[in-house]
Amino acid sequence: MLIRRCPWRSVQLHQLWRLRQIHTREPIHDKRWPGWEVVVGIEVHAQIKSRRKLFSESFTSRPGEIPNTTVSPYDAAFPGTLPTLNPKCVELAVRTALALNSEVQFRSAFDRKHYFYSDLPAGYQITQRYSPLANGGYLKLSRGNVAVGITQIQLEQDTAKSTFDGLRRTSLIDLNRAGSGLMEIVSEPDMRSPEEAADYVRTLQAVLRAVGSSDGNMEQGSFRCDVNVSVNRPGEPHGTRCEIKNLNSVRFMMVAITSEVFRHIELLESGCLVPQETRGFDEDKAETFKLRSKEDSPDYRYMPDPNLPPLLISEEYIEVIRKTMPELPDATRARLLNLGLSERDADVLMTVDSGREVGFDGELGKGAVAYFDALAQHRDPKVVVNWMTHELLGQLTVRKETFSDNPISVAQLGELMDLVQDGKITGTSGKSLLKHIITNRSSAPPSVLAQELSLEAISGNDTATLQTWCAETIEALPEEAEAVRRGNPRVLNKLVGKVMQLSRGRANAQNARVVLNDILRR
């Protein structure tokens, strides 16, 4: 096979990096490294949340799946097999590009990136380095009024997963992940601290989850970061960059960047040059280590993929996706705050179970925000968010369950809140009823359960029953009752609590307080 060498492409990449180098911001003075400026750029590989792989009909694998069970002959690079592009992957990538304010290209193309490693069955990876799906764009960070530029967004195949078995001293290959669709999102070198890099990653995760293109789960490997770090004196050109590969948590990424910055500064202040190289990160030692130098990096021998025609996207197709775009995180946050929610409550709703609510092929509407929106119809949003964040999430947390395990339907919780608001059950009874539904996974209406469990509030006219409970309370707690008679009103709360205990939450706490005071004043 003839491999075409394209010298203009290497020139193009060199010019692209020079453009990145002159992309400047106002200097940031950081007490950790006075007199130095840190420059960070990030390449993110986000697995597309599609049921099927990028170029085959195989299902994408899930965590814990039996190795080598979701593999087609094409994924395993059998001779004679041909790729078929998954249109859902394209749609989700276009969604991502629009959310990141990028310019979707009407024509993009696929290349083969050749390298030989055990986790790459074909000996090459299909990617879009030179004719990407989208160019440009930006992502606004949540703090500091900073916008990080986006260089390009490209589609590419994921590799298989290799695991080293120390006992048998052999590497095991799992092809389940091979051929899964990835989006490579390349940022400009616009970040100036580990904290800004962390903000960028978290904000990007939120955007991808909002549009349904990826679950952004770093721990499970569906969102991986390669971080480029350099340092320079303020006002001087950017220094030599080093790339830290495959960081799989925001915390480790911040530690890796910090470690690399101090390493660069130590080299430069001792009169040495920083060699351009690719590095890994040792989580135990909290420091980076050399993988390979730039001079040792392989020649990937890029060539156009002969089995895939150019990807042509019409303006009409882009507009259809633009008009059906889901609500983005900034708009969601603003809407929640306009409803009267606090910043904390909005953060809880938007971050609870992050990533677990993302369905396949762009399916939306299963997260906490959608649950809240349904509950808040014709109800006080503040009451709804209190029941969700304090009572519902509290009960689930006690059971070590997540919001995705929530057994209470919107209709059930809505009816329960209405019963409390209408005075048909007390708040205490409502909490007991909520606990009962979660524990027993009951699908019965709360009004029926309240009757069965005798949790209905006593009538305001039923003073005899309330007086009986108050008399029993005073008899059970004579010292506290005497303290109230002597003018210590704080002890009254203990008496009210005892009334609520005797009534199993059916009594109105305020009414109980009034009756207790009346009895004790006699």
Same domain, residue pair 327 and 440: yes
Same domain, residue pair 198 and 50: yes
Q: Helices (DSSP H) in 221-314: which residue ranges?
A: 250-269
The contacts of residue 401 (CB under 8 Å, 6+ apart) are none
Same domain, residue pair 217 and 342: no
- Give the range of the structural domain holding residue 376, as residue numbers without chain letter: 321-453
Residue 224 resides in a domain: yes
**DSSP H/E element including 415:** helix 410-421
The model's confidence at residue 20, banded by pLDDT at 50, 70 and 90, is very low
Same domain, residue pair 72 and 218: yes
Residue 210 resides in a domain: yes
Indicate if the pLDDT at residue 370 is higher than 50: yes
Same domain, residue pair 58 and 192: yes
What pLDDT, on a 0 to 100 scale, did the predictor assign at position 11? 37
Same domain, residue pair 480 and 440: no
Indicate if the pLDDT at residue 68 is higher than 70: yes
Question: Which one-letter amino acid corresponds to residue 12?
Answer: Q
| End position of a domain, from candidates 453, 471, 503 | 453
Same domain, residue pair 341 and 307: no
Same domain, residue pair 424 and 469: no
CATH of the domain at 480: 1.10.10
What pLDDT, on a 0 to 100 scale, did the predictor assign at position 351? 86
What pLDDT, on a 0 to 100 scale, did the predictor assign at position 455? 78
Q: What percent of the chain has pLDDT over 90?
A: 61
Indicate if the pLDDT at residue 17 is higher than 60: no
Q: Which strands, in side-by-side order, build the sheet including 124-127?
A: 124-127, 111-114, 303-304
The count of structural domains within the chain is 3
Count of residues for the chain?
A: 522
What pLDDT, on a 0 to 100 scale, did the predictor assign at position 233? 93
Q: Which of 49-63, 82-96, 162-176, 436-450 has the lowest mean pLDDT?
A: 162-176
Same domain, residue pair 98 and 216: yes
Residue 252 resides in a domain: no
Task: Give the whole-angstrom CA distance, residue 495 versus residue 478.
Answer: 10
pLDDT digits (tens, 9 = 90+) for 147-177: 999 999 999 999 999 888 888 888 899 999 9
Same domain, residue pair 424 and 381: yes
What pLDDT, on a 0 to 100 scale, did the predictor assign at position 265? 96
What pLDDT, on a 0 to 100 scale, did the predictor assign at position 294? 66
| End position of a domain, from candidates 408, 423, 453 | 453
pTM of the model: 0.83
CA-to-CA separations, 208 to 92, 212, 319, 325, 405, in angstroms, rounded:
9, 6, 19, 12, 22
Task: Give the whole-angstrom CA distance, residue 43 versus residue 247.
Answer: 11
What pLDDT, on a 0 to 100 scale, did the predictor assign at position 5? 40
The contacts of residue 174 (CB under 8 Å, 6+ apart) are 67, 68, 160, 161, 162, 163
Residue 181 resides in a domain: yes
CA-to-CA separations, 384 to 122, 378, 450, in angstroms, rounded:
54, 11, 20
Residue 352 resides in a domain: yes
Same domain, residue pair 406 and 487: no
Task: Compute, in degrees rounded to 10, the torsion defined by CA atoms 233, 237, 239, 243.
Answer: 130
Return the structure tokens found at 176. 């389940």
| End position of a domain, from candidates 420, 453, 486 | 453
Identify the bridge partners of residue 57 per DSSP, sorted by sequence position.
Answer: none
Residue 285 resides in a domain: no
Residue 380 resides in a domain: yes
What pLDDT, on a 0 to 100 scale, did the predictor assign at position 461? 58
Residue 78 resides in a domain: yes
pLDDT digits (tens, 9 = 90+) for 194-231: 999 999 999 999 999 999 999 999 988 899 999 999 99
Task: Give the whole-angstrom CA distance, residue 518 versus residue 522.
Answer: 7
Same domain, residue pair 163 and 217: yes
